[in-house]
Amino acid sequence: MTSGYAPLVGREAKGYLDNLAQAGTLDADTLQCFYQSMLQILCSAAEDASIPPGEFLPEKKYSQRSLNNYLTIDDVKGWLDRATRAFQTDVHSDKDTKGQMEQIVQYIQNHIERDIRRTEIAEEFYLNPDYLSRLFKKEMGVQLKDFIVAEKMKVAQDLLRTTALPVSMVAAKVGYSNFSHFSQVYKKVIGRSPAEDRASQGENVL
């Protein structure tokens, strides 16, 4: 499968699924057979194109659902989008990659109050988690998990310095339910404990 045919294959495959669904003939077994067939086709094509299987193999959740016939049409169509992109040689142009990184950063900032996981981001952007980590490190110069922590600590520091919220509440607002763990991470990243950092602002004012 060449880069030029990849989008076409994805569109045709999803169109076929939609036609089956509209005709009322897309049951769990049919969807399962279609998914397994496409997976075998892509594995063979990837081997010929020297594409690492990690670029398009389904997430663990898809594999588990597949074993239990719990796959939905949206599961398969979402996987097809990500899988066929792996065969597009121009999919990671500088412009596209930069835009994708901006979206990922925005996603992290918009969900800073949660315990953001790599798998969650990968699922949101239809990327393999390992590939996401490699791409983020390459483009941003920092590990994804370290970037997430740094962004959380920046928000926490701003809250500590501009509000009177208790430190425990600040911790909760950046996704930390364990106050002790939050304090340890904060000190490691900022260089001072939350209490010390807040106190230093009072000293600076004086």
pTM (2 d.p.): 0.59
pLDDT band at 76 (very low <50, low <70, confident <90, very high): confident
Amino acid at 35: Y
**What pLDDT is stored for residue 79 in this prediction?**
80
**pLDDT band (50, 70, 90) for residue 126:** confident
Q: Please tell me which residue, 170 or 28, carries the higher pLDDT value.
A: 170
Higher local confidence (pLDDT), 7 or 45: 45
In whole angstroms, what is the distance from residue 106 CA to residue 125 CA? 12
Span 82-106, pLDDT tens digits:
777 767 654 445 556 788 899 999 9
At 124, is the pLDDT very low, low, confident or very high (cuts 50, 70, 90)?
confident
pLDDT band for 205, please (50, 70, 90 cuts). very low
* 125: Cα within 13 Å, side-chain hemisphere: 27
Q: Which two tokens stand for residue 138?
A: 């390459």
